[in-house]
């Protein structure tokens, strides 16, 4: 994926650094909706999703922070899955 093809919510993120965004652009294909749904049962993701019910802004910030952790561990696929929740 080209950097310019990143979704607006990624390009405009204040949580993700430029380096994070460049890493995200390295992916060949985005995860499918089914692949994204599969991670919602992981305890750390389930907790995160339930902690911010009704507060979409905080939820999105925390999801981006979680994705940033995955990027630091070079888990590009997981980072995208979290961002696409």
Task: Compute the distance between CA of residue 6 and CA of residue 29 in angstroms, rounded to an integer.
Answer: 11
* Full residue range of the structural domain in which residue 37 is found: 3-83
> In the prediction, which pLDDT does 71 show?
98
| pTM for the predicted model, two decimal places | 0.93
Average pLDDT over residues 4-16: 96
> In the prediction, which pLDDT does 80 show?
98
What is the per-residue pLDDT across 48-78, written as a single tens digit (0 to 9) for each?
999 998 999 999 999 999 999 999 999 999 9
> In the prediction, which pLDDT does 65 show?
98
Task: Compute the distance between CA of residue 71 and CA of residue 24 in angstroms, rounded to an integer.
Answer: 8
pLDDT exceeding 70 applies to what percent of the chain? Answer: 100
> In the prediction, which pLDDT does 39 show?
98
What's the domain count of the chain? 1
């Amino acid at each position: 994926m080209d950097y310019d093809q990143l979704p607006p919510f990624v390009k405009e993120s204040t949580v993700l650094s430029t380096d994070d965004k460049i890493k995200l652009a390295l992916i060949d294909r985005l995860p499918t909706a089914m692949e994204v749904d599969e991670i919602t049962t992981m305890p750390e993701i389930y907790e995160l999703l339930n902690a911010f019910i009704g507060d979409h802004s905080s939820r999105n910030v925390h999801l981006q922070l979680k994705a940033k952790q995955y990027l630091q561990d070079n888990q590009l696929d997981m980072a995208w899955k979290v961002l696409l929740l």
